[in-house]
Each structure stands twice: as C-alpha cells, then as structure tokens.
Amino acid sequence: MFQNNPLLAQLKKNLHAKTPRVEGIVKSTERGFGFLEVDAQKSYFIPPKNMKNVMHGDKILALLKVEKDREIAEPEKLIESFLNRFVGKIEKKDNKLFILPDYPFLKDFILCRIKKNCIDIFETGDWAVAKLIKHKLNGNHIFYAELVEEIVKANNPLIPWWVTLSRHNLERKAPTIEKDDLILKDRSDRKDLTHCNFITIDNFNTKDIDDALFIKENNDGSFCLTVAIADPTSYIKSGSKLDIIAAKRGFTNYLPGFNVPMLPRNLSEDMCSLNPNERRPVLACRINVLKNGNICNKINFFLAWIKSKSKLSYDNVSDWIEKTGSWKPETKLIENQILLLHRLCLLRIKWRALNSVLFKDSLEYRFQFSDTGIVEDVVVEKRRIAHKIIEESMIIANISAANFLSKNLGFGIYNTHTGFDFINAENVVSFLEKYNLKFTVKEIITLKGFCNLRRVLNILSNNYVNSRIRRYQSFGDFSITPGPHFALGLSEYATWTSPIRKYSDMINHRLLKSIINKDKNITKPSEDIKLRISEQKRRNRIAERDVSDWLYTLLLQKKEYKNKKFNAEITDVSRSGIRAKLLENGANVFIPALFLHPVREELIFSQETGKVFIKGILHYKVSDLIQVILSEIRLQTRSIIARLDN
C-alpha cells in the first residue's frame, strides 16, 4: 500500500534535504580511518567502513551524521576522482592483472584490464600508465582500472626516471629531427668575430654549450665584455613543427644522471652548441662595465659568427686561479681572457654587495652512477670562482637584455620577484623587532629597502632568521612586461643566455633580433605562453625532486648506512615531526614525534615559528644542527625515517 505513495516520497525528499551535507577532499591515514577536509580549519572523521568506498584525494559530497557522540562524514557522491590517469606497479595473479597506484596513501591493488589498442604484455613488477574506469562511490562494487601503456619493465635500473616522467606526463626522449631542421634559415648579415678569442667554461661533460665570452680592458680601466649566445632560432622558424614542440616542452629537463632536451640533440649538442674550433651563428651583446662596476647604458646587440678557441672546465679554471692542481691555459691569450674575466667578476661581486643582493654560497649534491645506471654515491660540489665568473657574466648580459627590451619594446619574457606582499611585510617587521632590527613595512616593500634588508641579514648571518624571512617571501615568476626582481636586487631582468635549454629565452631571442632587424609590428608574447612556461618549470622541478627522493632511498638502504651517524640540519617543522637534510649527501629525512619525545601530549610543534617545544621548553628549531641515525627506508613512498642519536 506504500508503493508509489506520493506522501512517502515527499517525506523522504524532505528528510534528504534536511540532512546536512559537506563537500571536501578525502585524506586517508595509515590506520584505516580518514578525514574529509572541508577547508584549512575544518575536517570531519570518516570511519574505516566508509573509507573502503573512497580513495585518498577524492573530492566528494558527504552526509554529516552523529555516531557515538561524534560527528562523522558518510561519503555520498563522487565529485572528482583523485585517480584518473595514474601510474602504478603491476601484479599478475591467477591470470588476472592488478595495479598498485604509485601514491603514498593508496595501498590497495586495483583489478585491471588491458586497453583494446594496447599491445604491451604485462608481468609482475612492470610499471604502467592506467586509467580508473570504475569507482565504488559511483555504484560499482569494486574499483576497476584500464592499462593504457607500459612504462618500463621490472628491474630496469631506469625505473625511477621513467616512472616519474610518466607520472608528471613529461617527455622521456629528445625530439626527433628532420633534414630541414638542420638547415640555417636566418640569412641575416652577421659580423665575423671568428678571429676573437672567445672561450667557454662549463662542466667537463657539458655538450649543449650555449654561451661564450670575449673580454677586453679599455684604456680607462673599464671592461668591454662580449657575450655570444648560441642561436637556435636561426634554424627554427617561429610556428614551425619543431618550434611548437619546444614551446610545449618549455625547458630541457635536467634530472639526476641525464637530461631530456627541449631541442633535438643534433641541434642542442652539435649544430648550435658553441663547440671549440667550430664556426657558429650567435646572437651577441657588447657591454661596457665601468671601473666602479656600473653597466654602461650604451648596449649593443648584434648577430655574429664566432669560433670558440677553447672549451674550459669550471674545476680546471678554478684550480688555476686558486693556484692549485697542475692544469694551466693552453695559450697566453686564453690565460689573459681568464684573468680579465676574473677581475670583472670580483668587480661585479663588489658592486652587487653594495647595490643589490649577493647570493649565499650553497652546496650542490650530485649522484654518481655505475655503468648500468645503479646509484653508487653522492658527491658534494661547491660553487667555485669559475662558476661565479660565468654567473656574473650572465647576470650582466640578462640585465642588458631587460634594459634593451624595455627601451625598444616595453615587453618580453621577464623574470620577476615581488619580495613581500603587504601582509607578509607586516609579519617580517614584527618578527625582526624581536632581534632589535628596525624596519618599516613601507621600507621593505620597495626594491631599495628589500636589498638593504638582505644586506643586513647577510651581516647578521643567522640561519634561523634567514629561514623565517624566506617563508614570507613571494615566489619568482615570469612577466611579459618589465618588473623588478627583488631576490636579485634588480629593477628588471630578462634571460636570453640559454635558448638551447629554455623556450622563454628563444622568445627573447626573436624579440631582440626583431629590434636588430628593425622589424615592424613585433608581436607581444601572450599571457598564455607565459603561464605555460611557468607551469612546465614547476612540473620539471617536482620531477627532479621526485627522482632524487627515489634515488636516495635506493642508495641509503645499503648496509654501510644502517647504523651510521649523520650530521643534519633541521629544515622544517610539521604537525607530526621535523624534517632535516643530511649534510653529507643532501637527503631529506623525517623524524616523527615519537622519536623526539615519548609523551605526545607534552610536544608542541609550531609550524609558524619553526620550533619544537617539550613541556613548554624550546628544544629544536629550524636551522639547528643535529645528529641522526636512519631508522627506516620506505621504498614504496620514497621516504626516509630517521631518529635522533641521543
């Protein structure tokens, strides 16, 4: 008698409408239960029985209910699945295929099938790209996936690279090249500078050499620096097939052990690379640097032919300048070039110390591999004087390009950094007062004031203060109109010195060449291309970090590291522990709360201040040096758990 009863249907509808609902993101835990995060401040408990119908990261609509005096979220509707296209590891069992998604909080294998047009054969341990096609919250009794393509076979030493690149949907191979791509298309008049003593300074194994330098000292003691940059746009027409590929890639993707180039290797490592004793087309800039370190306003950009006289290495040049080792320049002419470049470098470092921002010397960590691609060790590399010579020369060149573009066009691809926004500036001023450093908001939101702040902090040399100030700073960005770069301490900055490796530099090359050729109706770069370049840069950085994390877990699981003590620096404080960097090799480790103090209620982790308190007393803070021992290497999540060496 109740079937099709309109009153009952209306009653159900009213009850359904009155039941409160919330929308949020599912966050799972290792103990089976989860939370529905509605915003940064509010979350609701999801019981283990309900977590079986959702996955970590799913965006869902949930009913709010009360069970045992506790408000819980009961998943009702899937808004957006966390898994769509994903990568995972295959397991074959009873002639059925399963895939384990490669995400830390997804620990269950998903039954899967092979897509019809996929010709790959899958075995246990292989890695694949898959797509989730059935979700429990959509009325299905299981999660179900479809295998789209194989990434790499089991036990292949390149698994960390191929899986990471596939996860971020990044290219794994160099672009292919066609015969027409090797033909010089730019027939513009070029100055013949092949007689000049240009030199290049790079790493020993660098193949894509994109900058060469030639320097003279003027009679008045100033320097005349000519920066010659490889010219791939003389081979690649705007809008061509290869240009579209380069625009999509955005950058050469540098990963530990190898790179995935933006351009075909025939161009980037041969035809365009400024290899020694090879005649190459370049875009060049002649810049005068005065005796006080200022860059002369008269800047000359032009097209030229050069022939590098020698490929030098950072280590050899640094050794020779520092009077160590046995290497010496081949000729007096090359020796003179190094000496003049060294003097210019010191002059500009002195100028920037007074007028802009100096970089703090930092350590770089480089993985070493066996012939078969197995990670064997990590070596520490410091920025030496030869690195600084090239760095200062490129800064001069990029300042000059920014000024030239602004003066002649008013647009280009500029590198910008806005320092602090108003709210963060207030936080900085308040924080610095605790250290008797008196600044005003009005002061530090200006370029001059920001530079002054950085110089004061350099003198203070307090790593903790520096780490807190960095948290308040904005991130670097790209802009199609001129803008300041606070982190460099410069009013404008536009890179053009790496067109083999950066598409943004190729864009600036074309703009600079248009000015040289006095072209009319020069097209301004679009906001869209700027955003795509910025996004690609972000993805490349994440991929580099992910590969590094994977390699560290493979390296540190070796026996010799089991009970070894490491010196480490605390880099961050989270809600559940502290993060630190091993100074010996650069690996990032996590120290859980349990390893800091046995009573969790007596621990306070302050993410805002970067400090850890035990019973109200400060025990640890960001920048502190500690000793740790590795506790657990989690290969599946690529994380390293450490404990304090008490």
Block residue for tokens 């530079």:
451
Residues 6+ apart with CB under 8 A from 354: none
Nearest C-alpha neighbor of 158 from the set 375, 347, 402, 453: 375
Position 393 confidence tier, pLDDT thresholds 50, 70, 90: very high
Structure tokens at 143: 């999660």
pLDDT digits (tens, 9 = 90+) for 364-373: 999 999 988 8
State CA 204 to chain mean position distance.
24
Tell me the two tokens of residue 183. 């033909």
Q: Check residue 19 and give its pLDDT.
A: 74
Q: What share of the chain in percent tops pLDDT 70?
A: 97
Tokens of 267: 């161009």
Tell me: pLDDT of 83 over 60: yes
The pLDDT tens digits for 287-325 are: 999 999 999 988 999 999 999 999 999 999 999 999 998
> What's the gap between Cα 202 and its chain centre?
21
Q: pLDDT class for 127, splitting at 50, 70, 90? A: very high
Q: What angle do CA 632, 636, 640 make, to 5 degrees?
A: 30
208 a catalytic residue: yes
SS (HEC) of 116-183: CCCCCCCCCCCEEEEEEEECHHHCCCCCEEEEEEEEECCCCCCHHHHHHHHHCCCCCCCCCCCHHHHC
CATH topology match: 85-156 vs 559-644? yes
Among 126, 181, 208, 505, the one annotated catalytic: 208
pLDDT at residue 6, rounded to an integer: 61
Is 314 marked active-site?
yes
- pLDDT tens-digit series, residues 238-280: 999 999 999 999 999 999 998 999 999 999 999 999 999 999 9
**Residue 214: what pLDDT?**
98
pLDDT(17) > 80:
no
| CATH architecture type of domain 85-156 | Beta Barrel (2.40)
Q: Which two tokens stand for residue 461?
A: 């040399």
Secondary structure letter of residue 502 according to DSSP:
B
Segment 522-570, tens digit of pLDDT: 999 999 999 999 999 999 999 999 999 999 999 999 989 988 999 999 9
Q: What is the structure's pLDDT at 254?
A: 95
pLDDT of residue 361: 80
pLDDT category at 178 given cuts 50, 70, 90 is confident
Q: What SS3 state is found at 526?
A: coil
- Look at residue 158 and give its three-state secondary structure: coil
Annotated active-site residue 181? The verdict is: no
Determine which one of 58, 126, 181, 202 is catalytic. 202
Quote the DSSP letter at residue 582: E
In the chain, domain spans: 17-80, 85-156, 179-416+486-547, 422-473, 559-644
Q: Decide yes or no: CATH 2.40.50.140 for domain 559-644.
A: yes
d(CA 135, CA 146): 12
Looking at this protein, which amino acid is placed at residue 627? Answer: Q
Q: What is the largest CA-CA distance in the chain?
A: 108
| pLDDT tens string 481-526 | 999 999 999 999 999 999 999 999 999 999 999 999 999 889 999 9
The catalytically annotated residue of 102, 211, 231, 319 is 211
Average pLDDT on 1-18 reads 54
Of 105-119, 158-172, 586-600, minimum mean pLDDT range: 105-119
Give the pLDDT score at 41.
Answer: 82
Per-residue pLDDT tens over the stretch 64-77: 998 878 899 999 99
Active-site choice (280, 501, 510, 638): 501
Q: Is the pLDDT of residue 468 over 90?
A: yes
Catalytic: which of 126, 210, 231, 505? 210
| Average pLDDT of the chain, as a whole number | 93
Query: pTM, whole model, 2 decimals?
Result: 0.90
501 among known catalytic residues: yes
The single residue of 44, 103, 314, 503 carrying the catalytic annotation is 314
Q: Is residue 235 annotated as a catalytic residue, yes or no?
A: no
Active site residue 210: yes
Rounded to an integer, what distance in angstroms lies between the CA atom of residue 605 and that of residue 609? 9
Q: CATH class for domain 17-80?
A: mainly beta
Residue 180 binned pLDDT confidence (cut-offs 50, 70, 90): confident
pLDDT of residue 15: 46
